Structure 1
Amino acid sequence: MNNLSKIPHGDDTVTVELTLKELMALTGVRFHNNHGVEISARKKLNEVLFETYERDQKENGPIPYQLLL
């Protein structure tokens, strides 16, 4: 495995607003009667990741394949 993959702005921080239950669900705590907690937490993470990626693409254009190796 190559641990030298380059992700532009990979060390920048992002902010995600989660409830305490959502945070607990992401750490592995199971809510047997409410699976929606984990689903909503993952959706929030995916939305922030997508928005960050989309913003980066608009600013910098596509990432050349060679930079990802």
Structure 2
Amino acid sequence: MSEKLEIAHGEEPITVELTLKEALALAGSKFVLNHQLETQAIKKIKRSIENKMLTASGN
């Protein structure tokens, strides 16, 4: 069973500003002294997606 998800303006790019450490954490690097880097980066990405979707919907 597969569903097709369609998102309005889904092909438009978004911009997310990450620190080098955040980008490395998302790429799989482990930072023993700061386990929150990956979580922070994911939150930034989600926030950027939400902002883009709100902008696209006109809110």
Moved over 6 A (4+): none
Report which structure shows greater RCO (CA 8 Å, sep ≥6). 1
- TM-score normalised by the chain length of structure 1: 0.72
Choose 1 or 2 for highest CA Rg.
1
CA–CA distance in structure 2, aligned partners of residues 5 and 28 of structure 1: 28
Identity fraction in percent? 36
Q: Which has the higher helix share?
A: 1
Aligned length: 58
What RMSD over aligned residues (CA atoms) do the two structures have, in Å? 1.5
Segments of structure 1 that go 5 or more residues without pairing to the other structure are 60-69
Tell me the equivalent position of 1:62. Answer: none
Structure 2 unmatched ranges of 5 or more: none
Deviations 1:16-54 (A, max 9, x none): 101111001111111121012112111110110111111
TM-score, normalising length: structure 2: 0.81
Quote the Cα distance in structure 1 between the aligned partners of 2:23 and 2:30. Answer: 11
Quote the offset at 1:7 in angstroms: 1.2
